[in-house]
Structure 1
Amino acid sequence: MRNKLAEEVLDSDMLNLMIQYQKSLGTNGNKLDNSIELLKNTSQLIQNFRDCRPLTEISDDRLKVNDDVLHFFKEWETSVIKDNKLSKKEKCLLSHQTWQDISSLIIRSVQITNLLKTENYQYLERSSCHASSTFRGIIKGEMLRFKRCTNDPVDLQTKYALFSERLIKRGYPKNEIKTVIQEVTAKQRNDTLMVKPKSVLQVASLDILYSVFKTEITHKEQYLKTLGQIKG
């Protein structure tokens, strides 16, 4: 009920009402400038949070508008704090709870959108505590997969470029990516497709086996003879 009331007194309908009222006051309407400025920001914020469309791109205009609203409230707070003429400054500001709610909603919406954006390709963050060989292995393995899956050079370069762009967003340095690309590019596609033959055990011929067993038997016979002489 309280939230519903807040929306109704801070939304675009109230903004339009105040603008019309300001016009009716004529030259005295400038007294409402600050109130209208507040309503312009709150109405945009309410409109965005009423919007049922999902936020899937960080470039969404609604996020930019929300950030501008947050900037407006921060400037408002700063101006009140710096104004030495105001004795009861807390009455000129939003309540602490309201300010925390607004700021957390705006900031969190950006964070969640960023998370959703990276969910499409969750490559290991470069800041993760892994050996450098692990990150090189991720890059090389994915690029080799691209090379196996297409024989079109243009398509392959497009995949490399898109993959590199995504890696950079995950914190991978360009030099590291470039080095691995050069290494993979130097390989022929047929080499990446070739299955290495398993080592074939050489089957020993019967002659070799007979020779080995005969030698073993001879050694045992000599050992037994020597043992018999010692006992005798």
Structure 2
Amino acid sequence: MWIDAFNWDQLNSFPLHKKLTREHLYPNNASKMRNKLAFDCLNKEMYNMMLEYSKTLTQAAQDEFSGALQLLQHTAFLVDFFGDSRPIKNKEDTRLVALREAYDWFKSWEKERTGEKSAHRRENSLLTMETREDLDFLFHGFISLVDLCTENLKAEVVPSRINSDVIENIFCQERSLYHGANMNPNYNEYRTGINSIILGQTTTSRKSNVGGNEAAKPYTTPCLRQKNVNKKW
């Protein structure tokens, strides 16, 4: 379905989705780790391209295509939402209502397929279990963060600053930088590695949601310096 739409778009003199390439549709092991390629396949440009392509199909094919368009409609919103630099100041923000609608659509899709008798067909017609859990954590975690910041801390939340890059960076350093590409460090290796990471990297960020420009400093004990005494011999 995506491949047919891509081939159709490439026949146009001015492609509707200018960033879409064969690497998006046929990724190798390294390309599969690039989130940007996934965003390009799920953003608003992809939705508009698929919408225009569906108009060239028969009525029966359009009915079958409607599910993919609904999926892209909600994923395009999620991509735009978490790339939005406008702050959320209260829980009445209209973007939160749209976020709830997108989440409810994914949950209704999951509930609709739950009654499928064949486990194989049920799993093939849904997102993976890990992806569905990530959506749950994403929605409930973000709503809880908005409640905490707007109600208790009286602060704003910027959706584009919500990411796990800092945590992923620590895990990557633990697995490779300090343990020689060790994918499964034991407790003792992890304990010594995390101390080196904390002390060796910059912990101050001016682009965080919590604000502030001072980071916590490592604990140090005062050391008395001995005065230099000029001795006469």
Normalising by the residue count of structure 1, what TM-score does the alignment of the two structures yield?
A: 0.48
Which structure carries more helix by proportion?
A: 1
Structure number with larger C-alpha Rg:
1
